[in-house]
C-alpha cells in the first residue's frame, strides 16, 4: 500500500523516515521488559505524519489505529519534534537559497497559516485574511522549483514587511530579479499595477498584469503544495508553544517528499528492524 494520501510520503520515504527517527530516539521504542507500547514505531511515525498531513483530531486518529486519544497525544508530542530534527537537513537554508537563485528569476509569495486565537497573542490577527495565524514567505524559481520557506512571523505582519524582515529580501537581491503580487509593491520586484483610486487601468496595464499573473502561477502552486500539509491550512489546535515544531516538521516533510528517493522510488527497501 502507498501512503501518499494519508501521510504525503511514498512507502520508501516512510520507511526511511522511520529509520531516521529510530536512530534519533534516546532509548529503544520497544523495551525488552515492562509494559508493551500500544503500537510499533512505524505506526507511531505514521500517526504523527497523518496528524500533520490532515490536521484531524486525535480522537479520530485513535479510532483509526485502535488506541486511545491520550496515546495519540503522547505519540504526536514525542514524534513530531523528532521528525523536525531528522528532516532538518532537507530544508534549504538562506545561504543555500542565495546560491540557487544567482542569475535566475525567482517568484515570491506570502501565505497565512491559521491557528486558534490564543489569549495574549493579539499579534497573530491578520486583518487581510480575517483570521489569526502566522505569515510564511515562500520563494521558488520560474519553473516552480522550491527554493526557500521562511520562518513563521506573526499574522499581523504585512507581506512587504515580511519580505524585508526575513532572508527573502536578500535572496531576491542576489537573484536575477523577482516577481510578486501587489502586496510587494515598493520592494524592488516586478508586481502588477494597482488600479488608480477613482480610475481604471488602461488596456496596456491590464495586459501587463495578466502576463505577470501567468508568470506567478508556479509560486501559487508551490504554496498550495506546501499547505497540502493541512496543519498549515486549517486552524492549529495544539498549545501555542508547540506551533513552531509542527511548522518546522511540516517544512521538513514537504522538502523530504519532493527530494528524497525519487531516483529509486520503485526499489525494494526492507522494513527497518524492531519496528
Per the structure, the complete domain to which residue 190 belongs is given by 93-237
- Whole-number mean pLDDT of the chain? 91
Backbone angles phi, psi at 114, to 5 degrees: -70, 155
pLDDT tens-place string over residues 167-223:
999 999 999 999 999 999 999 999 998 888 777 878 888 889 899 989 999 999 999
Q: Does a structural domain hold residue 14?
A: yes
- Are 56 and 81 in a shared domain? yes
3-state secondary structure of 223: helix
Question: Contact, 123 vs 154, CB < 8 A?
Answer: yes
> What share of the chain in percent tops pLDDT 70?
93
Q: Does a structural domain hold residue 273?
A: no
- Are 127 and 226 in a shared domain? yes
- Are 70 and 172 in a shared domain? no
Q: Does a structural domain hold residue 252?
A: no
- Are 120 and 233 in a shared domain? yes
- Are 71 and 97 in a shared domain? no
- For residue 275, what pLDDT band results from cuts at 50, 70 and 90? very low
Q: Does a structural domain hold residue 246?
A: no
- Are 78 and 107 in a shared domain? no
- Are 74 and 201 in a shared domain? no
Q: Does a structural domain hold residue 17?
A: yes
Q: Does a structural domain hold residue 249?
A: no
The dihedral over CA atoms of 245, 12, 96, 186, expressed in degrees to the nearest 10, equals -70
**How many structural domains does the chain have?**
2
pLDDT tens-place string over residues 179-191:
999 999 999 999 9
Q: Does a structural domain hold residue 167?
A: yes
Backbone angles phi, psi at 230, to 5 degrees: -65, -15
- Are 34 and 68 in a shared domain? yes
What is the number of other CB atoms lying within 10 angstroms of the CB of residue 272?
A: 17
> What share of the chain in percent tops pLDDT 90?
80
- Are 126 and 77 in a shared domain? no
- Beta-strand pair 178-179/131-141: unpaired
Region 254-265 average pLDDT: 81
- Are 112 and 229 in a shared domain? yes
CATH number of the domain where residue 76 is located: 1.10.472
- Are 118 and 200 in a shared domain? yes
Q: List CB contacts of 166: < 8 A, sequence separation 6 or more.
A: 137, 150, 151, 153
- Are 23 and 101 in a shared domain? no
Helices marked H in the chain: 4-7, 11-24, 41-54, 58-65, 69-86, 94-101, 159-165, 168-174, 203-215, 217-226, 243-259
- For residue 231, what pLDDT band results from cuts at 50, 70 and 90? very high
Amino acid at each position: 500500500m502507498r501512503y501518499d494520501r494519508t501521510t504525503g510520503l511514498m512507502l520508501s520515504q516512510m520507511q526511511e523516515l522511520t529509520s531516521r527517527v529510530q536512530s534519533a530516539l534516546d532509548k529503544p521504542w520497544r523495551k525488552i521488559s515492562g509494559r508493551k507500547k500500544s503500537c510499533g514505531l512505524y505506526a507511531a511515525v505514521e500517526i504523527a505524519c497523518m496528524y500533520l498531513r490532515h490536521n484531524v483530531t486525535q480522537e479520530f486518529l485513535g479510532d483509526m489505529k485502535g488506541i486511545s486519544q491520550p496515546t495519540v497525544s503522547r505519540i504526536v508530542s514525542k514524534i513530531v519534534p523528532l521528525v523536525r530534527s531528522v528532516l532538518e537537513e532537507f530544508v534549504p537554508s538562506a545561504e543555500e537559497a542565495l546560491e540557487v537563485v544567482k542569475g535566475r528569476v525567482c517568484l515570491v509569495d506570502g501565505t497565512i497559516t491559521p491557528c486558534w486565537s490564543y489569549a495574549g497573542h493579539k499579534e497573530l490577527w491578520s486583518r487581510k485574511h480575517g483570521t489569526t495565524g502566522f505569515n510564511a514567505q515562500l520563494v521558488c524559481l520560474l519553473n516552480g522549483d522550491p527554493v526557500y520557506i521562511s520562518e513563521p512571523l506573526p499574522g499581523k505582519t504585512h507581506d512587504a514587511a515580511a519580505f524585508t524582515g526575513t532572508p527573502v529580501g536578500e535572496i531576491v537581491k542576489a537573484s536575477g530579479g523577482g516577481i510578486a503580487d501587489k502586496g510587494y509593491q515598493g520592494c524592488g520586484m516586478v508586481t502588477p499595477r494597482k488600479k488608480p483610486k477613482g480610475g481604471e487601468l488602461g488596456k496596456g496595464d491590464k495586459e501587463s498584469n495578466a502576463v505577470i499573473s501567468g508568470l506567478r502561477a508556479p509560486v501559487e502552486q508551490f504554496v498550495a503544495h506546501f499547505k497540502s500539509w493541512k496543519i498549515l491550512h486549517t486552524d492549529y489546535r495544539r498549545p501555542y508553544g508547540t506551533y513552531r515544531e509542527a511548522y518546522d516538521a511540516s517544512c521538513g516533510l514537504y522538502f523530504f517528499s519532493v527530494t528524497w528517493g525519487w531516483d529509486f522510488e520503485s526499489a525494494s527497501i526492507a522494513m527497518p528492524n524492531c519496528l
